[in-house]
A = this chain, B = another copy of it.
Amino acid sequence: MNADILNIGQAAEASGISAKMIRHYESEGLVPPASRTFSGYRIYNHRDVHMLRFIKHSRDLGFSIKQIGDLLSLWRDQNRPSSKVKSLATEHIQMLDRKIHELSAMKSELTRLVSCCHGDTRPDCPILDNLAQDN
């Protein structure tokens, strides 16, 4: 009926965030407490869903809950300096970069080891030898 009055399941569907997580974000204070029906069901409107989608998109970019809290504040603040948003995002890029480099280092060492291993029925294995190495 009224497309602007949703329960938590519909809000979850519309935002891409599970009902479970919507409740969790509320309990953590990331989103304000939803209003309730007489019987206690949470209800959401178009604006709420819009905020949830903002959160979803931010999560998809790897921002932490705390960072998303900051992003939401900036989003709401009509007088924000865009420099604050930019520096927050830049910091996050650096964190992503650190992680990418960590994982890439693991991958390349492991790839090297794997390429040395025959991978047959015999027990000799350069991978295990390397792991067991005292270096």
Task: Give A contacts to B, CB under 8 Å.
Answer: 50, 53-54, 57-58, 60-62, 71, 74-75, 77-83, 85-87, 89-90, 92-93, 96-97, 99-100, 103-104, 106-107, 109-111, 113-114, 117-125, 127-128, 130-134
The answer to whether A121 and B54 touch across the interface, beta carbons within 8 angstroms, is no
Oligomer: number of copies: 2
Determine how close the nearest CB of chain B comes to the CB of A135; give it in whole angstroms. Answer: 8
Q: A61-B110, A61-B131, A86-B127 are in contact. List 9 more A-B contacts (CB 8 A).
A: A74-B125, A75-B132, A81-B122, A81-B123, A86-B117, A96-B103, A99-B103, A100-B100, A100-B104
The answer to whether A53 and B121 touch across the interface, beta carbons within 8 angstroms, is no
Q: Which residues of B contact A83 (CB under 8 A)?
A: 119-121
How far is B132's CA from A54's CA once the two chains are assembled, in angstroms? 5
Provided the pairs A107-B97, A132-B54, A133-B57 are in contact, do residues A123 and B75 lie with their beta carbons within 8 angstroms?
A: no
Determine how close the nearest CB of chain B comes to the CB of A35; give it in whole angstroms. Answer: 22
